[in-house]
Copies of this chain bind each other. A is one copy, B any other.
Amino acid sequence: MRTIIGVDLGGTNIVVGAVPEDGSALYGLATRRTPVTDGPEAVVDLIAAMVKACIADVHATCGDVEIAGVGVGAPGPLDTARGIVLLAPNLGWRDMPLRDRVSQVVSLPATLDNDANCAVFGEWWRGAARGARVVAGITIGTGVGGGIVIDGKLFHGASDIAGEIGHTTVDLNGRRCKCGNYGCIEAYASGPAIAARAVEGVEAGASSTLPSYVGNDLSQIDAGVVYQAAHDGDEFAREVVRDTARFLGATVANIVNMLNPDVVVICGGVTLAGDQLFAPLREEVRRRAFKPAHAACRIVPGTLSGTAGVYGAVATFKVQRWGSA
């Protein structure tokens, strides 16, 4: 069976793994820090080294299987048809022909798609949204992204931007977002935004055990700390998680009304919050969404923790080169 290498390139890490075309396994998974400050060619060189190591691992494990190519997921906006990263502020890139550079250095065919798209596509192919006809996904990390899958293919829109859920508005006059606007969901539900809302509360005098998790250095509070404190019973941390659920719930309800998906899959570290987040989130969607659209939709956490992007990059390669995943 042909095997494809998936590359998930982020502003923090590069994750690489090999997946046979039927999606039945994941070989040679490896993660390395992205050498952002060394420039794009250093990133390409590291990708090449990781892909070669991964191929060696596949051959050691499975014998002499055919390696069909490399699917790459990268931050965007992209031009997927030309394989170019148009702009990636976290990498400091502009108009970088990543697909062809990777293809050259590994001497294999390559494809390129958006990293959030790939994560959602991975969850459709092998994860929590497997087999659904219409899938909307939200990826929550340093930022908030998303992707849309319709009939087994990523929906790209007019210019490869579709699924940019992070800067949709839920509160017209709300919290200032890094993008310059007010009330984007990213300003409430990204990892840093969750941490910032918790820190603001503590600084304003909320009674909370949060400082004890970080030796009273509030700058060390991140979203994971908030989830842990909520899990441990801290009432203020629970309130922060419930508020996050309420904001995210309004966004998910907007997606449900607009796209009427079978599944909304929510990916990223936020899934660690578990039912503490998902129970009030589902309740907010039930309250806000059009009833028959809500009735048709499951809202689920992603199940491919840390590997959705790799699976999705592989599935994207299959679609771009072979017509379907």
Q: Please state if A169 and B250 are interface contacts (CB–CB under 8 Å).
A: yes
Chain B residues whose C-beta falls within 8 Å of the C-beta of A254 in the assembled complex: 168-169, 254, 258
Fill in one digit per residue for A32-60: 1 if any B CB lies within 8 Å of its CB, else 0.
00000000000000000000000000000
Distance between Cα atoms of A164 and B291 in the complex (Å): 11
Identify which of A1-9, A102-110, A155-163 touches chain B: A155-163
Known: A164-B290, A172-B170, A288-B167. A157 touches B250 (CB 8 A): no
Interface string of A256-267 (1 = CB under 8 A from B): 011111100000
Contact B168 A258 (CB under 8 A): yes
Contact of B293 with A159 in the complex, beta carbons under 8 Å: yes
Contact residues in B for A247 (Cβ distance below 8 Å): 172
Q: At the interface, is chain A mostly helix, strand, loop or mixed?
A: loop
- Residues of B contacting A162 in the complex (Cβ-Cβ under 8 angstroms): 134, 258-260
CB neighbors of B among A213-246 (8 A) = 246
Q: Does A292 lie at the interface of the complex (its beta carbon under 8 Å from any beta carbon of B)?
A: yes
* A148, B155: Cα distance in complex, Å: 13
Among B87, B150, B172, the residue within 8 A (CB) of A246 is: B172
A181 contacts B by Cβ under 8 Å: yes
List residues 162-213 of chain A with CB under 8 A from any CB of chain B.
162-165, 167-174, 181, 183
* Residues B158 and A134 in contact, CB atoms below 8 Å apart: yes
Q: How far is the CA of A254 from the CA of B146 in the complex (A)?
A: 13
On chain B, the residues within 8 Å of A140 by CB distance are none
Q: Which of A159, A165, A261, A295 has the most CB of B within 10 A?
A: A159
Known: A170-B172, A173-B171, A253-B169. A133 touches B161 (CB 8 A): no
Verify if A130 is at the interface (C-beta below 8 Å from B).
Answer: no
Contact partner, A253, options B86, B168, B289, Cβ 8 Å: B168
Chain A window 264-288, contacts with chain B (Cβ cutoff 8 Å), 1 for yes, 0 for no: 0000000000000000000000011
Q: Which residues of B contact A170 (CB under 8 A)?
A: 169-170, 172
Shortest 4 CB-CB contacts between residues of A and residues of B: A157-B260, A161-B260, A159-B296, A162-B260
A134-B157, A157-B293, A168-B253 given; name 11 further pairs at CB < 8 Å.
Answer: A157-B260, A157-B296, A158-B297, A161-B293, A161-B296, A164-B257, A167-B257, A169-B250, A170-B170, A171-B172, A181-B287
